[in-house]
Amino acid sequence: MNTTPQPDPRDRPARLTVGVVGAGRVGPALAASLRLAGHRPVAVSAVSDASRRRAEEMLPNVPVMPPAEVLERSELVLLTVPDDALPELVAGLAETGAVRPGQLLVHTSGRYGAKVLDPALRAGGLPLALHPAMTFTGTPVDVQRLAGCSFGVTAPEELRLAAEALVIEMGGEPEWIAEENRPLYHAALALGANHLVTLVAQSLELLRTAGVGAPDRMLGPLLGAALDNALRSGDAALTGPVARGDAGTVAAHVAELREHAPGTVAGYLAMARATADRALAHGLLKPELAEPLLGVLAGPSDAAGGTGDTPGDAS
């Protein structure tokens, strides 16, 4: 074991001045992480009261100022605004001359690659797309969670090493994503993470309706084991009444949901059809049990009168 004392990052001279445009949940956390690596946050833009409070908590004593002034002070700029606002922001900053030659411009959108920064590139900026594959709380705990977090990295080939080095300095793991694959990459993450929150929230509500006093304590071990098994084994981890072909149980589920939570029926049916398709394809669901099951799943999808798709359309 190496017992040589390691220098405190705070004792190292700052290598880059860092600015943040958009003090949402992501930008201040990344800037705080870069500060631990020896860089120096110098400016942040924040509009709402909530973003100003967040900036003060995560980046104390860093002044709040307009975006153009943030760029004026910074060698590395984090553009951490919503996806839909990013193209217009980049174009505006480039048109007004705010971008300087040699300035690193980093956006954290999962949807976009480096090309969305082309206006800045034409102005001499150095474009990097670094998307942390993590959900953020907007609190200091996010800085700790960045350790080991994967980042989707897209950049011009000549900047690839610089992009990956920044991710490593923040404690993350760089994963190279080709420009043309960014939308698919982001859709995959949204499917797994964003929809998971909806499914868990619905499950918690249903358990409360069923009289469970501590639904979070009940779901925690179950969901943790399911996630671990899925990451380790993929489709082989499928279990439950759909994968077993228990059509009667699934029909009872649908009937109960229609009575107590009709808004969850469409989602239940859609996920059950997708599960059945995958279980069939991987030999987990016996074909002779699939027909009655798919008959149940092909029924009306919600109490408002929608109709279910045919089983083949759900894959």
* Per-residue CA distances from 137 to 28, 140, 146 (Å): 11, 8, 12
What the block records as the tokens of 221 is 């071990």
- Residues whose CB falls within 8 Å of the CB of residue 81, separated by 6 or more in sequence, listed in order: 21, 22, 24, 89
What the block records as the tokens of 92 is 């505006």
pTM: 0.82
Per-residue pLDDT of the chain (315 residues; tens, 9 = 90+): 444 444 444 444 448 999 999 999 999 999 999 999 999 999 999 999 999 999 999 999 999 999 999 999 999 999 999 999 999 999 999 999 999 999 999 999 999 999 999 999 999 999 999 999 999 999 999 999 999 999 999 999 999 999 999 999 999 999 999 999 999 999 999 999 999 999 999 999 999 999 999 999 999 999 999 999 999 999 999 999 999 999 999 999 999 999 999 999 999 999 999 999 999 999 999 999 999 999 999 865 443 333 334 333 332
Q: What is the CA radius of gyration of the chain?
A: 24
Distance, CA of 130 to CA of 153 (rounded, Å): 5
- List the helix and strand counts (H, then E) for the chain: 14, 7
Q: Output DSSP code: residue 19.
A: E
- What's the burial of 292, exposed, middle or buried (CB within 10 Å: 0-12/13-18/19+)? middle
Kind plus residue range of the DSSP H or E element containing 151: strand 150-154
